[in-house]
Amino acid sequence: MIIKPKVRGFICTTAHPVGCAKHVEEQIEYVKANKPAGEGPKNVLVIGCSNGYGLATRISAAFGYGANTLGVQFEKEPTEKRTASAGYYNTKAFEDFAAKEGVYAKSLNIDAFSNEAKEQVIELIKSDMGGKVDLIIYSLGSPRRTDPATGTTYSSALKAIGEPVTRKSLNTDTKQVADFTLDIATEEEIANTIKVMGGEDWELWINALADADVLAEGVKTTAYSYIGKELTWPIYGGATIGQAKADVDRAQTVVNEKLAGLNGSAFVSVLKAVVTQSSSAIPVMPLYLSTLIKVMKEEGTNEGCIEQTHGLLTKEMYADSELTLDEAGRIRMDLLELKDEVQKKVEDLWEQVTSENLEELTDFAAYQAEFFKLFGFGFDGVDYEADVSPIV
């Protein structure tokens, strides 16, 4: 079939297998060009391994440090008539590249929130990975979660807290900039969002792995977070998602205690805003990112997933130097984004931006190119007119 992008709102419902492989390959090339010198993780579990930050971390671990990786993802498989989701192709490509280098890589396509996922992962660690993992990356982006203890499914809500919030937002389909209002969340919606995106499942994973005795001495784990500043605060940090991320901070303390007997450590790593499937679904983020990319490119400091995660592993978690932690004990990879000058420039542009001057004042073109790349579109050297099988 000839595969073209089909965009519906903030998601593209098709994905190109050759383009997705190219996306993975580009990230591998970055890591190989920036090989770390020291010792790194050896046996890594990546929960949320197929897209965005989880995929990039897996690439850094496997191709930077030669680590064995076990990944968990929840992706749509292909049929003769329908493409798979991008993450499915990304993982297939990652596994192929790893096999060529003789690096162990296995992936489970299963709901990470379930008990079955934890059981299957433990079995594989025992059978394939020498019985222990020494790094666990927690990088899920999901709108809903079924609690394995009760079978109840919770949905997250992107809503404001306290009072409704109106902000400029960008409809990426129509390129129209217009005000967007986030309604106030009910107490139940706040609680549900915490249930889905908070730290409970990270705790459940670490408890299951620890109880099964598959964690190595000195094991490390990190969950990913975003904080942002004034511009995004009312819709992110100060909204329902921010409450969920505060719960991840809470879980970090609990997980750390659980790992104390193994001299292990748990961190929350705060990463910069980047274009991923999860971030493009958050209102205001596409406009914020289009503007941020422009400003950070001008500063020469713009980074994507792979630069962030590679920096996290090589300059923080596996560097010889001490970790640079904030007052809450979090690793901060977002400091260049949050620099006052950067935020001020973004804010100034934000105030002026309209549908008419969008392309001039922001780098919407770069945002859109990044978005299409997530689904394997827009890569040089890929023949998008060629007949390709969706089944890989």
Residues that bind ligand NAD (CB under 6 A): 48-54, 72-75, 87, 111-113, 139-142, 224-226, 271, 273-274, 276-279
Residue 141: CB minimum distance to ligand NAD, A? 3
What is the spatial distance between Cα 49 and Cα 108, in angstroms, rounded to a whole number? 10
Residue of 30, 53, 236, 367 marked active site: 236
Least distance CB 263 / ligand NAD (angstroms): 26
Question: Please, which residue, 41 or 48, has the CB nearer to ligand NAD?
Answer: 48
Residue nearest to ligand NAD (CB): 52
Q: For ligand NAD, which is the closer residue by CB, 27 or 139?
A: 139
The alpha-carbon radius of gyration of the chain (Å, integer) is 20
Active site (annotated) includes residue 138 = no
Minimum distance between the CB of residue 74 and ligand NAD, rounded to whole angstroms? Answer: 3
Residue 74 or 94 having the CB closest to ligand NAD: 74
For 117, residues 6+ apart whose C-beta sits below 8 A from its C-beta are: 72, 108, 110, 111
Strand residue runs (E) in 90-138: 105-109, 133-138
Whole-number minimum distance, CB 298 to ligand NAD, in Å?
A: 20
Which residue lies nearer to ligand NAD by CB, 205 or 318? 205
Read off φ and ψ for residue 264, nearest 5 degrees: -90, 170
Residues sharing a CB contact under 8 Å with residue 27, sequence separation 6 or more, in sequence order: 55, 56, 59, 305, 306
* Cβ closest to ligand NAD, residue 216 vs residue 331: 331
Shortest Å distance, C-beta 79 to ligand NAD: 18
Q: What values do phi and psi take at 138, rounded to 5? A: -110, 105
Give dist(CA 345, CA 348) in Å, integer. Answer: 5
> Which residues are known to be catalytic?
236
